[in-house]
Amino acid sequence: MFTGIIEDLGVIKAISKEGTNIHFTIESKVSNELKIDQSISHNGVCLTVVQLPELNSHVVTAIEETLVKSNLIVLNIGDVVNLERCMQMNGRLDGHIVQGHVDQIGSIKNISVKDGSWFYDIEYDGSKTGNITVEKGSICVNGVSLTAFNSSKSGFTVAIIPFTHEHTCFKSFKIGSSVNLEFDILGKYIKSYMDQVSL
């Protein structure tokens, strides 16, 4: 379980395929603190550490199901990813409850700057998935816990303060960039319950 507060940026150093799986070698400041079989979020995707080849690097494996539902498939060597280690039970929950299970991919529709902050309009296909956001509700974008506004059936907007812009991969986004979306787990439970009640 995660909180959506990014700890570090990692750099993709190597990518290799094994059947339908892809192994990613990541270089980061937190890599040397990881252990084999530990979970760590990469752009909001919970992946397991399978190797620690050298200091400041770790290897994780993404299976086909993960690759289909996330933007990991489009990563290239040299790309930067948001990293967050799993939360500690004795720590503060600074963001919101994030499982690291990406629901679907969204796309950056527009980027604007106003009063020192960046505004990202994000669109997604909610008609097939039934995923929704609510005004001022939580949303996880590429592993970052954010507040959604301008909510609609197929999109929302998030505001990024300078610190978050500088310390996450948001600064590399362009119009058309794909992003991993994890919708609020509480909202998903409520929607599932209401769908069953209405049957």
Contact 94, 2 (CB under 8 A): no
What pLDDT, on a 0 to 100 scale, did the predictor assign at position 139?
96
The whole-number average pLDDT for the span 188-195 is: 80
pLDDT at 26 over 70: yes
pLDDT at 54 over 70: yes
81: alpha, beta or left? (left if phi > 0; alpha if psi -120 to 50)? beta
Q: Which phi and psi angles does 55 have, rounded to 5°? A: -55, 140
Give CA–CA dist 32/58, Å, rounded.
8
Give CA–CA dist 60/62, Å, rounded.
7
Quick one: tokens of 151? Answer: 């909510």
Quick one: tokens of 19? Answer: 């059947």
**For 8-85, CATH number?**
2.40.30.20
**For 104-197, CATH number?**
2.40.30.20
Band of the pLDDT at 36, cuts 50, 70, 90? Answer: very high
Q: How many residues are there in the chain? A: 199
DSSP 136: T
pLDDT, tens only, 97-131? 899 999 999 999 999 999 899 999 999 998 878 89
The whole-number average pLDDT for the span 152-173 is: 95
Listed by start position, the domains of the chain span: 8-85, 104-197
The SS3 assignment for 127 reads: helix
What pLDDT, on a 0 to 100 scale, did the predictor assign at position 81?
98
Quick check: do 8-85 and 104-197 share a fold? yes
What pLDDT, on a 0 to 100 scale, did the predictor assign at position 199?
63
Mean pLDDT estimate for the chain: 93
- Residue whose entry in the numeric block shows the structure tokens 């599932």: 192
Side chain identity at 66, as an amino acid letter? T
Band of the pLDDT at 196, cuts 50, 70, 90? Answer: confident
* Closest listed residue to residue 43, CA positions, set 162, 181, 185, 164: 181
Buried b (16+ CB within 10 A) or exposed e, 100-128: bebbbbbbbeeeeeeeeebbbbbebebee
Q: Which phi and psi angles does 170 have, rounded to 5°? A: -60, -35
Band of the pLDDT at 12, cuts 50, 70, 90? Answer: very high
Q: What percent of the chain has pLDDT over 70?
A: 98
The whole-number average pLDDT for the span 6-14 is: 97
pLDDT, tens only, 70-103? 999 999 999 999 999 998 877 777 778 899 999 9
